[in-house]
C-alpha cells in the first residue's frame, strides 16, 4: 500500500505551500512512485493491447509489424497509453478519497488561462532558443537530432485527424494531469517552488530522452525540461492546470502544423 508517512501525517512546513498541495492526501514518495510507474506501465500495457488488437483483426506477424508502425496503429497505442495513465491516476485519487480538484482543476477554463498560456509560450520559446545555442556551442550537443514521433506517411484527412488527436490533444491532457498535476502537487507538499519545479522537470525530461533510435535525444531533454519549468510556473501562478494544458497543446500544435500540414522538418 502506498501510505508513506509524509502522506499520512503532514508536518509543519518550512516553506509557503499552496493550499491544494498542502491538503493533498499524498506526499512526495507516492507522487514519484505512481507517476513514474504510470508513465512506464502505460507504455508497456498500451503496446500489448495494440499488438492484441492486431491479432484480433487477423493480421499475420509481418502485417502486425507494419500495422503497429502505421498511423492507425500509433493512434491506438497513444490512445491506450494516455488513457491508462489517466485511469491509474484516477484510481489513486479514488483510493485516497479525493477528486480532480486536488490536481489543479478547481474551476472551469477562463480567458485568463489562455493569456497565461500565450505568455508562457513566449517565455518557453525564448528560453529554448538560448538553451539550444548554449548547448550547441558549449556542450557540442547535436541540436539537429530528430524526435521520432511515430507518425510517418500521413497523407489522408483521416490520418491527419488521428495524428492531431495523438499529438495535440491526448499527451498534453494526460501529461499535465500526471506531471504538473499529480507529481508536482505531491512534491510541492515538501519542497519550495524552485526545487519542486526542477525535480519535476528533471523527471519529465528524463522520460523523453529515449525518443530516438540513434541514442539519447538530448535536444528533446532540453526542450521538455524548459517546457516543464514554464508549465510548473503556470501551475503555481494560476493554481490550476488549464494554462499548462493550453500551452502544452499549443506547442504540439505548432509542431503538427509544420510537420503534417506545411511539410517542414523541425
Write the pLDDT tens digit of every residue in 52-65: 998 888 888 888 88
Going by the DSSP 8-state scheme, the letter that residue 101 receives in this structure is G
Do 187 and 28 contact (CB within 8 A), yes or no? Answer: yes
The pLDDT assigned to 213 comes to 55
End-to-end CA distance of the chain: 44
- Is 10 inside a domain boundary? no
- Is 42 inside a domain boundary? yes
Do 240 and 114 contact (CB within 8 A), yes or no? Answer: no
Closest CA to 72 of 147, 144, 161, 183: 161
Helix (H) or strand (E) holding 88: helix 71-95
- Is 8 inside a domain boundary? no
- Is 2 inside a domain boundary? no
Q: What is the pTM of this model?
A: 0.88
The pLDDT assigned to 14 comes to 44
Could you give the CA distance from residue 262 to residue 237 in angstroms, rounded to a whole number? 35
Closest CA to 177 of 118, 99, 68: 99
- Is 245 inside a domain boundary? yes
The pLDDT assigned to 76 comes to 94
pLDDT tens digit at each of 266 positions of the chain? 455 544 445 454 445 566 667 778 899 999 999 998 998 899 999 999 998 998 888 888 888 888 888 999 999 999 999 999 999 999 999 999 998 888 989 889 999 999 999 999 999 999 999 999 998 888 787 777 777 677 888 889 999 999 999 999 999 999 999 999 999 999 999 999 999 999 999 999 998 876 555 667 888 889 999 999 999 999 999 999 999 999 999 999 999 998 888 864 44
- Is 7 inside a domain boundary? no
Q: Which three three-digit cell numbers place residue 261?
A: 500540414
Do 95 and 104 contact (CB within 8 A), yes or no? Answer: no
- Is 14 inside a domain boundary? no
Which distant-in-sequence residues (6+ apart) come within 8 Å of 107 by Cβ?
A: 240
172: domain range? 19-262
Q: What is the residue whose three cell numbers read 517542414?
A: 264
The pLDDT assigned to 207 comes to 85
The pLDDT assigned to 12 comes to 47
Q: How many domains does the chain have?
A: 1
- Is 174 inside a domain boundary? yes
The pLDDT assigned to 179 comes to 96
The pLDDT assigned to 17 comes to 64
Handedness of CA 127, 133, 134, 140 (dihedral sign): positive
Q: For 115, what's the count of Cα atoms within 13 Å in the CB-facing half-sphere?
A: 5
Amino acid at each position: 500500500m502506498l501510505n508513506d508517512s509524509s502522506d499520512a501525517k503532514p508536518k509543519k512546513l518550512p516553506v509557503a505551500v499552496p493550499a491544494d498541495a498542502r491538503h493533498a492526501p499524498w506526499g512526495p514518495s507516492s507522487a514519484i512512485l505512481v507517476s513514474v510507474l504510470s508513465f512506464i506501465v502505460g507504455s508497456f500495457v498500451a503496446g500489448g493491447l495494440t499488438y492484441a488488437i492486431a491479432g484480433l483483426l487477423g493480421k499475420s506477424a509481418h502485417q502486425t509489424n507494419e500495422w503497429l508502425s502505421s498511423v492507425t496503429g500509433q493512434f491506438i497505442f497513444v490512445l491506450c497509453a494516455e488513457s491508462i495513465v489517466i485511469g491509474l491516476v484516477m484510481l489513486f485519487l479514488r483510493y485516497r478519497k479525493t477528486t480532480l480538484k486536488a490536481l489543479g482543476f478547481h474551476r472551469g477554463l477562463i480567458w485568463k488561462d489562455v493569456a497565461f498560456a500565450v505568455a508562457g509560450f513566449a517565455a518557453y520559446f525564448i528560453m529554448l532558443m538560448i538553451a539550444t545555442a548554449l548547448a550547441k556551442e558549449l556542450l557540442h550537443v547535436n541540436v539537429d537530432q530528430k524526435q521520432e514521433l511515430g507518425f510517418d506517411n500521413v497523407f489522408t484527412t483521416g490520418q491527419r485527424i488521428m495524428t492531431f488527436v495523438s499529438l495535440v490533444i491526448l499527451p498534453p491532457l494526460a501529461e499535465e494531469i500526471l506531471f504538473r498535476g499529480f507529481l508536482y502537487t505531491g512534491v510541492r507538499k515538501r519542497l519550495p517552488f524552485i526545487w519542486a519545479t526542477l525535480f519535476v522537470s528533471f523527471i519529465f525530461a528524463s522520460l523523453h530522452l529515449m525518443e530516438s533510435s540513434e541514442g539519447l535525444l538530448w535536444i528533446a531533454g532540453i526542450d521538455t525540461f524548459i517546457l516543464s519549468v514554464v508549465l510548473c510556473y503556470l501551475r503555481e501562478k494560476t493554481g490550476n492546470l488549464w494554462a499548462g494544458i493550453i500551452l502544452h497543446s499549443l506547442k504540439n500544435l505548432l509542431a503538427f502544423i509544420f510537420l503534417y500540414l506545411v511539410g517542414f522538418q523541425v
